[in-house]
Structures are given as structure tokens and as C-alpha cells.
């Protein structure tokens, strides 16, 4: 009975991923699956099968299934295009990148008969591998035309809502970028003077944040975002095949 209760509890647990803005949400909704062609085609579900260079990080013991040496390399192509319609004005941005995101060399050897009989090792395999785990390269732009009475700072002000100014400004004892509950875009705008704080006269608490635009003031709003970065993994692995029954890695 306890086992069933534990299963029900796990199913009922709600897991969530919080993005600080729509732009961050777009990033988190785009999973990266890098590796060999087989590994990518199976969406990374290769850990239990083994015998694939990209699966070594998930299951090193799977390296023991190899029966011969192998040299492999996989090229990945990143093609990104975005089109934004803002205030009846269309803009587009594109990015193209290509490179090798997986390289590996598998050395599979058979021990001598005497050593194999005494230890039970049928195969002894070594692997030198490189894998791209995550890619953060992306690019986005948007423009709202000319003589517009609203700007991106209006969006930032609305997004910032009633966050107190003390939580946005950097001091010698406080760094708002280390506060995960405060949106980074609000911190940048507040410290750059792009939004201004309005407080209640009676309490002095933050009422809301607003753009610096005055009444009847117009601008030509635009937004450009470029991010770059990646996580790479370099590994040296060994795995042994013991009597075709136990694979240790």
C-alpha cells in the first residue's frame, strides 16, 4: 500500500519552469538535442541501448557493448528565422551556424585468452569523446515603425509592476542580479534610467513603474536581442564486458 501511495504522490507533484519574460519563455521552449545522428533521431533516448558515443554521458557502461573500434563525427546546422509584426510594421532576423557538435574515437580490444579466463573480461573498451550539450545562440529583432507614442520601456514598466526600487538598484551590499525573484530586464532598465518609479504619497511604497516618455512624445521603438554561449563535455571513459552479462563503466 505504501508503494502505491508513493507512486500517486510522485504523479501528483507539479513541476514548473518559470521564465522571466516572453523572450526567456521562447528560449526554454526550444530544447537542444545534440549528438550522433542515431542519438538525435531518438531524442536522446539511447542510454539503455548503449554502443553510441553520445550515450556515454548517460550510461558509461553501454560502451562495453562495442565489438570493434569506431571513429565518428557529426555536423549540426542551426538555422533560425524570426518575423515580428509590431504596430503594422514587420521586421525579420535570421541566423545560420554550422559546426561539429560531436567527435569521438572508440578503441575496442579483446584481452588475451589467459587474462579473459581469469578475469571474465570479454571486451575492454576506451572512448575519447566530445559532445555539445547545450547551445544558447539565438537572435531576435523587432521594430515598431516611426512616430509611435509607446516604446519597449512601456512594456518593461508594465512587466516590472510594483517591485520596490530597493530590489532593483545595485549597492555595495546587494546585487539584484543574484535575486532570482527579480526580472533581469527590470534591473537593467531601472539602473539605466529607462523606467521611473512612482510611489504612494501616504506610504512611500512603490505604486508602479512607467516609461520616461512624456505626454505626446513619440519615438521609433526597436528591440534587438543576441545571445551566445554553450555547454561542452569532454570525456575519457572505459567500460568492460564481463562474460557478456555484466557491463561495467
Segment 187-244, tens digit of pLDDT: 888 888 888 887 776 676 767 788 877 778 888 877 787 888 888 889 888 888 888 7
Residues 108, 166 share a domain:
no
215 and 238, same domain (yes or no): no
Question: What average pLDDT score do residues 152-172 get?
Answer: 84
DSSP code for 168? T
State residue 41's pLDDT score: 74
Give yes or no: residues 108 and 204 share one domain. no
Tens digits of residue pLDDT in 63-74: 888 888 889 888
Residue 5's pLDDT is: 52
Task: Say yes or no: 179 and 158 in one domain.
Answer: yes
The helix (H) or strand (E) run that includes residue 55 is: none
Distance CA 206, CA 143 (A): 30
Q: Is residue 122 part of a domain?
A: yes
Under the banding of pLDDT at 50, 70 and 90, the label for residue 105 is very high
Q: Tell me the pLDDT band of 61, cut-offs 50, 70 and 90.
A: confident
Please, which residues have CB within 8 angstroms of residue 155's CB and are 6 or more apart in sequence?
none
Q: Are residues 133 and 38 in the same domain?
A: yes
Q: What confidence score (pLDDT) does residue 6 get? A: 52
pLDDT-derived band at 20 (thresholds 50, 70, 90) equals low
Residue with cell 506610504: 203
Residue 17 above 70 pLDDT?
no
Q: Residue 114 pLDDT more than 70?
A: yes
| % the chain with pLDDT above 70 | 85
Is 70 exceeded by the pLDDT of residue 133? yes
118 & 241 share domain: yes
Q: Please indicate, yes or no, if residue 180 is contained in any of the structural domains.
A: yes
Strand residue runs (E) in the chain: 70-86, 89-109, 121-135, 138-143, 195-199, 206-211, 222-227, 230-242, 246-248
pTM of the model: 0.60
- Residues spanned by the domain of 158: 149-219
Is residue 1, in this structure, part of any structural domain at all? Answer: no
Looking at the structure of the chain, the number of domains it has is: 2
> Which positions ≥6 away from 98 have C-beta within 8 Å?
75, 76, 77, 78
Q: At what angle do helices 184-192 and 152-160 cross, to 10 degrees?
A: 120
Same domain? For 59 and 112 the reply is yes
pLDDT of residue 10: 45
Q: Which own/partner contact pairs does 44-50 have at CB distance under 8 Å and 24+ positions apart?
A: 50/247
Mean pLDDT for the chain?
A: 78
What's the distance, CA 7 to chain centroid? 29
The reply to whether 3 falls in a domain is no
Amino acid at each position: 500500500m505504501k508503494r502505491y501511495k508513493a507512486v500517486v504522490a510522485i504523479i501528483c507533484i507539479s513541476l514548473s519552469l518559470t521564465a522571466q519574460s516572453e523572450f526567456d519563455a521562447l528560449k526554454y521552449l526550444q530544447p537542444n538535442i545534440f549528438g550522433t545522428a542515431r542519438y538525435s533521431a531518438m531524442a536522446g533516448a539511447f542510454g539503455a541501448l548503449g554502443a553510441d558515443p553520445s550515450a556515454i554521458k548517460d550510461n558509461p557502461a553501454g560502451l562495453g557493448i562495442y565489438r570493434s573500434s569506431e571513429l565518428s563525427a557529426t555536423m549540426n546546422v542551426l538555422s533560425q528565422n524570426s518575423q515580428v509584426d509590431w504596430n503594422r510594421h514587420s521586421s525579420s532576423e535570421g541566423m545560420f551556424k554550422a559546426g561539429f557538435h560531436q567527435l569521438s574515437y572508440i578503441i575496442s580490444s579483446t584481452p588475451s585468452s589467459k587474462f579473459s579466463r581469469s578475469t571474465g573480461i570479454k571486451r575492454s573498451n576506451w572512448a575519447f569523446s566530445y559532445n555539445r550539450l547545450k547551445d544558447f545562440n539565438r537572435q531576435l529583432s523587432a521594430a515598431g515603425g516611426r512616430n509611435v507614442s509607446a516604446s519597449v520601456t512601456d512594456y518593461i514598466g508594465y512587466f516590472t509592476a510594483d517591485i520596490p526600487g530597493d530590489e532593483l538598484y545595485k549597492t555595495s551590499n546587494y546585487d539584484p542580479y543574484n535575486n532570482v525573484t527579480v526580472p533581469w530586464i527590470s534591473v537593467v532598465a531601472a539602473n539605466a534610467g529607462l523606467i521611473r518609479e512612482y510611489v504612494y504619497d501616504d506610504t512611500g511604497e512603490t505604486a508602479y513603474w512607467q516609461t520616461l516618455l512624456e505626454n505626446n512624445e513619440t519615438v521609433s521603438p526597436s528591440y534587438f536581442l543576441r545571445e551566445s554561449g554553450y555547454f561542452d563535455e569532454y570525456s575519457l571513459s572505459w567500460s568492460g564486458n564481463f562474460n557478456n552479462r555484466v557491463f561495467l563503466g
